[in-house]
Amino acid sequence: MAAENVNVWYNVYHQAAWGNYIGTYMFLAAVAAGSIGAATLPRLFGRDTLKDIELPAIVVGLASLVVLSLILIYDLGRPERFVNLFVYLPGRIGSSPMSMAVALFSLLGLGSLIWGASVYTDNEQGAMYGAWASLVLAILTMYVNGLELAAVQSRALWSQGAVLPVLYLATAMAAGLSVAVLIGLARRIDTEPLRELGSYMTWSLVLALFTYGVYFDTVAYQGQNAAYELGILLSSSLPITIGVILGTVVPLLLLIGALKLDMGKQRSTLSGAAGISAVLVLIGVWAFRVSIVAAGYQAQILW
């Protein structure tokens, strides 16, 4: 009963389940976990020159968590029942990636709230515990966010890429560092810390580009209907043009130009390159997540 030599299918198609709201939720999850992760740089990794970004990055992370929660609840068919996610959480956390994500988002919000409050009240010990807890939870959140798609065996673009959670982790790191750069620019941090952030961002983009490559390779060569699946993914220009080229390659070149080729000796050049790169990375992460959700849902729905 394979779909060979078929001219026409007459089938029933129920409405698409996941769309732009879920893609945007995944983007905000990357921003939230990424910026909370980036906020740990001064306290946990001794980058004292980046101290100015700590509290604002925590606030951006928390704000993203609030907005993504609202988007998720809005996307539910029965939003008033969202509390059931918590009521049945203990029994489902080992099975449903969505339950895992709900638990992680809640803990991440709580951990970073304690951390932020401790920073605000100069409670060093509380801030240290909060930062460590938030870092671990942020990394897990980035990964599980990808797992929410990768666990769905029926959608080849999600499940064939066992690399998808790693891709989500790498791009969330890039998104978080982009937020940190934008905060740094807004707070007018010195040139050296800005160069340092730009350098981290460059490496995160190299990692993201590598995982993009592994992901496309996996889909193209290991999918059951590789050509069909890849065609669906590429039918939209969002994932490649915006997600990979505009959101990863272009910022990488800009940053390399500014940092390594001494084109960024002047503060204004460095700021411009870092700022544009940060915005492009955020747009790219959003575009890829939205398109992978939409295209991934369509693949294999034919019959």
Which of these ranges, 56-64, 78-86, 160-168, 169-177, lies near another protein under the rule CB under 8 A?
78-86
Contacts of 271 (CB under 8 A, 6+ apart): 185, 194
Residue 201 near residue 277 (C-beta atoms within 8 A): yes
Distance between CA atoms of 79 and 169, rounded to whole angstroms?
A: 28
Distance between CA atoms of 250 and 244, rounded to whole angstroms?
A: 9
CA-nearest of 26, 47, 7 to 243 is: 26
Distance between CA atoms of 44 and 40, rounded to whole angstroms?
A: 6
Helix (H) or strand (E) holding 69: helix 51-75
Which of these ranges, 62-70, 97-105, 123-131, 281-289, lies near another protein under the rule CB under 8 A?
97-105
283 near another protein, rule: CB under 8 A: no
Using the minimum distance from each CB to another protein, give the nearer residue, 43 or 155: 155
**What is the 8-class DSSP label of residue 300?**
T
* Binding-site string for another protein from residue 152 to residue 171, where x marks contact by CB under 8 A and - marks none: xxxx----------------
Size of the site for another protein (CB under 8 A): 45
Residue 98 near residue 75 (C-beta atoms within 8 A): no
227 near another protein, rule: CB under 8 A: no
Q: For 123-156, give one letter per residue: b (16+ CB within 10 A) or e.
A: eeeebeebbebbbebbbbbbbbbbbbbbbbeebb
Using the minimum distance from each CB to another protein, give the nearer residue, 82 or 203: 82
* Binding-site string for another protein from residue 14 to residue 33, where x marks contact by CB under 8 A and - marks none: xx-xx---------------
Using the minimum distance from each CB to another protein, give the nearer residue, 118 or 145: 145
Using the minimum distance from each CB to another protein, give the nearer residue, 288 or 297: 297
Closest distance to another protein from the beta carbon of 266 (Å):
50
**What is the 8-class DSSP label of residue 193?**
H
Among 45, 74, 88, 221, binds another protein (CB under 8 A): 88
221 near another protein, rule: CB under 8 A: no
Using the minimum distance from each CB to another protein, give the nearer residue, 10 or 261: 10
125 near another protein, rule: CB under 8 A: no
Residue 278 near residue 182 (C-beta atoms within 8 A): yes
* Binding-site string for another protein from residue 135 to residue 154, where x marks contact by CB under 8 A and - marks none: ----------------xxxx
Among 46, 77, 122, 192, binds another protein (CB under 8 A): 77
The CA distances from residue 9 to 108, 138, 175, 300, in Å, are 47, 45, 42, 13
97 near another protein, rule: CB under 8 A: yes
6 near another protein, rule: CB under 8 A: yes
Q: What residue ranges bind another protein (CB under 8 A)?
A: 1, 3, 5-15, 17-18, 75-79, 81-82, 84-85, 87-89, 91-92, 95-99, 102, 151-155, 224, 297, 300-301, 303
